[in-house]
Chain A
Amino acid sequence: MIYKVITKSEFRKFVSGLIRENQTIGPKLVDSDREGNPIYQFKEVNSFDEMDLDYTQADYSIKNFYLPFREELSRFDYSNSDWEQNIEYHVHPRVIVGVRACDINALTKLDKIFMKGNFPSPHYIARRKNTFLIGMDHEPLDDCFCKSLNQDVVRHGFNLYCTDIGKSYYLTINSSKAFNFLRNVKTSDPGKEDDRKYIERRKYLKKKFRTHVEVTGLPALMDIEFQSDVWKKWGDKCLNCGSCAMVCPTCYCHGVEENIEVNLKRSRKERVQYSCSIVDFAEVAGGHNFRPLKEDRLKYRFYHHYRGFAENADEQICVGCNRCGRACLAGINPRDVINDLRMESEE
């Protein structure tokens, strides 16, 4: 890891240069909600001014740029009662600017699933390798609890990370590509004053967290409370709409669909994002459903996030962004469910 300091005006020039040369994605103000709060989304940008780097949080994480809602896995071409399968994955180099720490941490969790093990996904790897990721710190929202999960600090998974220290950014350089890009830009080595400001900024951000979720021993608690009435209480509210999974930066459950073209000469095999809370997720051919009840499915989602992944990868898959809580039409959020489980175990 190499540290540099860049003035905000020089950073602007640097990013503008990247925008000119590459497809660039950044946080954009797209609308406002009923209460007048701004709605931000990661969208393609053509100039630095289109981005709002002081955005609070994008409704959707950048997951969708790595795991699109629908993507072609392969294509079958038919001719003379035979078929050929084609697998293609082309990704042009691209840049994503202004990604928050929790979203970068979410990507490193997805890396464990899609880039490692016996069956890495070439589609995901192509997208990950061809994306230059610039992260940026931010003040937490009132309901963020990424600090509780130790996800407010980022160590891997980005090329460049900017910490706001007033008129400059304190840069953490995490790849040779980022180092080479910065050769043509005016940066300086951090001085004592910059270091002090950086540490102050880190302390300031830590103090700004208002929501805390106690996750100590959560995997064991999930086991102990497997039969708890808490699941029924929240399961009864759940609409099984899958909104939580769509906005979650780490939910990766999916289905594989095949669609044949109208001319019957070609078909596509596609990966489609899905959610474990949707009713037919665990239904097998013949109609038997391994999770027929709403509470089973809600429990399973929590179980996967706070217990299952923890056992396989030694970490919880949730990054504490609380997008699911904000998107839930039934008002279910992880903080309340976990607190309920804790109270249940303490009674």
Chain B
Amino acid sequence: MKTDKVYKCEIINMIELTPMEKLFHLRILDPAERDLFSFRAGQFVMVEVPGFGEVPISLSSSPNNREFMELCIRKAGQTTNMLHKARIGSRVGIRGPFGTAFPMEQMVGHNLLLIAGGLGLAPLRAPIYWVTDHRSDYRDVHILYGTKEPWQMLFTYQYEEWERINHIRMLTIVEKGDENWKGNTGMITELFNDITIDPANTYAIVCGPPVMFKFVCNHMDNLGIPMNHMFVSLERRMHCGMGKCCRCMVGSTFTCVDGPVFDYWSVMNLKEAI
């Protein structure tokens, strides 16, 4: 899948997660193309609504699921608004998968910290699925998830499954609670007070708004987690996904082909990155 060719998909299911975010299940129509399509946790696709535009969306499903892909899409612009108006059975296009992935094989035998803020839980779902599919390969796994308000929490229906069935410790926090919120309030870094980690044997994956990276990664750096053990997924505007349009360029790096997944060491040395 290396040209401008767009692969036709059918929307086979849609789940409304919040008033702003929907989870789409897309299935590539052509069985031959479907067989060819595979991706790694952390990669993204360009979702095409013909006539309206294309948007880069992280793959949110298990890399082992070859039948359909899941994409969590926030209503944020013209194309995503159109997508939110689509119905089951509608056809959209995809190009990809593009970009780099989280090095899940490299993390085998270590503890994992999966840290997400807001919509960042969507790209983090792919490595979570990977871990749950290969649970015995990893030691202690923590998910730290924070949003501004409780209603913004995504995939709440899966937390119990992750904790109870997959033995992943899930910690959540909101910046501002409401009358029903009984959990933690504050910044996501406060969740580190509730966990014990062995820094040298821990890998971390961080997805979230740009402002979060610096605080979270600095905190982990202070805890002693090596910088090349922390992976972040950067967000940028993208028009081509192929390292041509330069919209996503940071310094000498294209977020679409050299990223979106970077280790913190590389990003820290990249001007303007975070």
Chain A interface (Cβ within 8 Å of chain B)? 73-74, 76, 78, 81-83, 85, 87, 113-114, 117-119, 121-122, 223, 226, 252-260, 267, 269, 271, 274, 276, 281-286, 288, 290-291, 296, 300, 303-304, 307-312
Interface assignment of B199: CB less than 8 Å from any CB of chain A = no
Interface assignment of B247: CB less than 8 Å from any CB of chain A = yes
Complex Cα distance, B97 from A300, in Å, reads 28
Closest to B93 in A: A85
Complex Cα distance, B235 from A282, in Å, reads 11
Q: A85-B6, A284-B236 are in contact. Are A254 and B244 (CB under 8 A)?
A: yes
Complex Cα distance, B242 from A271, in Å, reads 13
Contact sample, A vs B, 9 pairs, CB 8 Å cutoff: A73-B4, A74-B4, A85-B93, A114-B244, A119-B2, A256-B240, A258-B52, A271-B245, A274-B245
Cβ–Cβ contact A309 & B252, under 8 A: yes
Cβ–Cβ contact A285 & B4, under 8 A: no
Cβ–Cβ contact B246 & A276, under 8 A: yes
Interface assignment of B251: CB less than 8 Å from any CB of chain A = yes
Closest to A251 in B: B246
Number of A-B contacts (CB under 8 A): 113
Q: Which of B199-214 contact A (CB under 8 A)?
A: 210
Closest 4 CB pairs of A and B: A119-B242, A267-B51, A285-B77, A285-B76
Which residues of B are found within 8 Å of A82, using beta-carbon distances?
Answer: 91
Closest to A223 in B: B271
Closest to A82 in B: B91
Cβ–Cβ contact B271 & A85, under 8 A: no
Min CB gap B239→A, angstroms: 4
Which residues of A are found within 8 Å of B236, using beta-carbon distances?
Answer: 282, 284, 290
Closest to B55 in A: A285
Closest to A264 in B: B51
Interface assignment of B111: CB less than 8 Å from any CB of chain A = no
Q: Which of A119, A226, A308 lies in contact with B244, CB distance below 8 A?
A: A119
Complex Cα distance, B246 from A291, in Å, reads 13
Interface assignment of B272: CB less than 8 Å from any CB of chain A = yes
Q: Which of A119, A254, A267 lies in contact with B243, CB distance below 8 A?
A: A119
Q: Which of B242-272 contact A (CB under 8 A)?
A: 242-247, 249, 251-253, 257, 271-272
B: contact size bracket:
35 or more
Secondary structure type dominating chain B contacts: loop
Interface assignment of B233: CB less than 8 Å from any CB of chain A = no
Interface assignment of B50: CB less than 8 Å from any CB of chain A = yes
Q: A113-B243, A284-B235, A285-B76 are in contact. List 4 more A-B contacts (CB 8 A).
A: A73-B4, A255-B245, A255-B247, A259-B51
Cβ–Cβ contact A285 & B80, under 8 A: yes
Cβ–Cβ contact B77 & A258, under 8 A: no
Interface hub of A74, A257, A276, A285 (most chain B Cβ within 10 A): A285
Which residues of A are found within 8 Å of B235, using beta-carbon distances?
Answer: 284
Q: Which of A85, A113, A286, A307 lies in contact with B50, CB distance below 8 A?
A: A85
Which residues of B are found within 8 Å of A256, using beta-carbon distances?
Answer: 53-54, 239-240, 245
Which residues of A are found within 8 Å of B243, using beta-carbon distances?
Answer: 113, 117, 119
Cβ–Cβ contact B251 & A303, under 8 A: yes
Cβ–Cβ contact A252 & B244, under 8 A: yes
Complex Cα distance, B272 from A253, in Å, reads 18
Which residues of A are found within 8 Å of B219, using beta-carbon distances?
Answer: none
Give per-residue flags for B44-83: 1 if the beta carbon is below 8 A from chain A beta carbons, else 0. Answer: 0000001111110000000000000000001011001000
Q: A76-B51, A87-B4, A258-B51 are in contact. Are A226 and B252 (CB under 8 A)?
A: no
Complex Cα distance, B244 from A121, in Å, reads 9
Which residues of A are found within 8 Å of B253, using beta-carbon distances?
Answer: 308
Which residues of B are found within 8 Å of A312, using beta-carbon distances?
Answer: 252
Which residues of B are found within 8 Å of A117, using beta-carbon distances?
Answer: 243
Cβ–Cβ contact A122 & B239, under 8 A: no
Interface assignment of B164: CB less than 8 Å from any CB of chain A = no
Which residues of A are found within 8 Å of B242, using beta-carbon distances?
Answer: 118-119
Interface assignment of B85: CB less than 8 Å from any CB of chain A = no
Complex Cα distance, B193 from A176, in Å, reads 71
Complex Cα distance, B29 from A138, in Å, reads 57
